[in-house]
């Protein structure tokens, strides 16, 4: 029998202590325990057109859905009785250190998401000891990104434009500013069909309509920030009118080829990696040509919908190009477990784009810091639960990719 007694009033009062509510940026970010939590906060705080530009993808958005599903469809295989009391998440990538096995991917029009833009991303990356990548279509200059991250690793993502002199000038500026790696992007000969942007009437710069005004009413802080901070400036373009698709189609050149890669290789003194690789033969050819690395990516599902899933492609590419080749992966990463699985299957590094922007929209620089904290915590916890003390200890045996989409005939 359980012995019962009259409750002690002092004990009851212990349970009745009311925690005072907290408000403001710090309070809302403390309530974010996952990247999806940051996404929910970002959606509440950002006008629909800007949020959908970040969140959306091309056509029916199947590529991004499949990429995220592929990361969810993994099974980890932990080792037992192999203590990992001290987990080291640092790694070496492209001749330099990174405190974590991921960096910030290039994103366009970033200050439209939140006015601190690339300055927040570069500063947070520098503080965390990870690389930051500035996009050709970024809204902060190469030189100002360097000021925001003076001692950290800055990378530059290059589109080869119709006017080659624009691209060559950007390469020279990035080299002069001390950026150590250039991402030569090959998956954007023309703009993808981003229907959310078309439905929202999303343009650069934003245009006011009855719909945007109605959507902005509960988000006055976004418009106040937008209207009271310096005018948007792009790293490469002086003409910014029209939709995002119009802008991309007027600037990008569908005729770029291996000759352009060779020209940029001659101009660029640092590491050059090719971003947007989506099949094994291309990966093999590029590694044979001597590029410093490749990034398996379908541009976050924002170009060709139903494109190959980078994470699913990873083991086959690593098998063909060799364990020593620098193969990186992006698209669909929303959890530190996604990063651990990628590293186990042979990736040398990963890049996060949307996760970074969700943090930015949720809380500016502090939101990006929180994003990095969340992913870092998930990486450390996953490694410890696997019985792995360092990135180098991760092996393919730690992960099984479960299958949903299987090619006909296999």
Catalytic residue positions?
299
The DSSP secondary-structure symbol of 398 reads G
Q: How far apart are CA 358 and CA 339, in angstroms?
A: 17
The DSSP secondary-structure symbol of 409 reads T
Residue written as token pair 């000969």: 189
Residue 350: HSE in the Cβ half-sphere, 13 Å Cα cutoff: 35
What are 351's strand-pairing partners?
A: 103
The SS3 of residue 370 is: helix
Within 8 A by CB and 6+ apart from 382, the residues are 76, 336, 337, 340
Tokens of 399: 């992960």
The packing angle between helices 48-55 and 35-45, to 10°, is: 150
Q: What is the DSSP string of 239-301?
A: ---SBHHHHHHHHB-TT--HHHHHHHHHH--SEEEEEEE-SHHHHHHHHHHT-SEEEE--GGG
Q: How far apart are CA 141 and CA 150, in angstroms?
A: 14
Cis peptide bond N-terminal to 205, omega within 30: yes
Within 8 A by CB and 6+ apart from 68, the residues are 332, 334
Taken as a whole, the chain contains a residue count of 410
């Amino acid at each position: 029998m359980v012995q019962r007694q009259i409750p002690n009033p002092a004990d009851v009062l212990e349970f009745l202590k009311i925690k005072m509510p907290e408000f403001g940026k710090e309070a809302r970010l403390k309530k974010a325990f996952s990247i999806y939590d940051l996404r929910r906060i970002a959606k509440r705080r950002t006008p629909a057109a800007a949020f959908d530009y970040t969140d959306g993808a091309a056509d029916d958005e199947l590529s991004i859905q499949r990429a995220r599903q592929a990361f969810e469809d993994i099974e980890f295989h932990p080792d037992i009785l192999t203590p990992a009391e001290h987990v080291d998440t640092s790694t070496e990538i492209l001749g330099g250190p990174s405190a974590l096995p991921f960096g910030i991917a290039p994103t366009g029009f970033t200050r439209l998401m939140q006015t601190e833009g690339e300055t927040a991303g570069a500063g947070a990356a520098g503080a965390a000891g990870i690389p930051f990548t500035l996009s050709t279509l970024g809204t902060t200059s190469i030189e100002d990104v360097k000021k925001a991250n003076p001692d950290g690793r800055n990378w530059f993502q290059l589109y080869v434009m119709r006017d080659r002199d624009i691209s060559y000038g950007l390469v020279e500026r990035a080299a002069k500013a001390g950026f150590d790696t250039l991402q030569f992007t090959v998956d954007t000969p023309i703009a993808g069909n981003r229907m959310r942007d078309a439905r929202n009437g999303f343009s650069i710069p934003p245009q006011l309509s009855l719909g945007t005004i109605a959507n902005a009413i509960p988000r006055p802080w976004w418009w106040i920030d937008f209207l009271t901070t310096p005018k948007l400036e792009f790293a490469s373009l002086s003409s910014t009118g029209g939709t995002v698709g119009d802008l991309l189609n007027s600037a990008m050149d569908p005729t770029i080829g291996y000759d352009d890669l060779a020209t940029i290789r001659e101009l660029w003194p640092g590491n050059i990696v090719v971003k947007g690789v989506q099949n094994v033969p291309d990966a093999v050819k590029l590694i044979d040509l001597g590029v410093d690395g490749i990034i398996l990516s379908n541009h976050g599902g924002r170009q060709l919908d139903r494109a190959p899933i980078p994470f699913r492609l990873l083991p086959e590419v690593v098998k063909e190009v060799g364990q020593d080749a620098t193969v990186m992966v992006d698209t669909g990463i929303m959890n530190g477990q996604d990063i651990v699985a990628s590293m186990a299957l042979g990736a040398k590094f990963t890049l996060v784009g949307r996760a970074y922007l969700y943090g930015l929209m949720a809380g500016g620089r502090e939101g990006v810091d929180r994003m990095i904290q969340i992913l870092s915590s998930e990486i450390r916890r996953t490694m410890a639960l696997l019985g792995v003390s360092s990135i180098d200890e991760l092996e393919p045996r730690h992960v099984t990719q479960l299958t949903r989409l299987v090619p006909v005939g296999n």
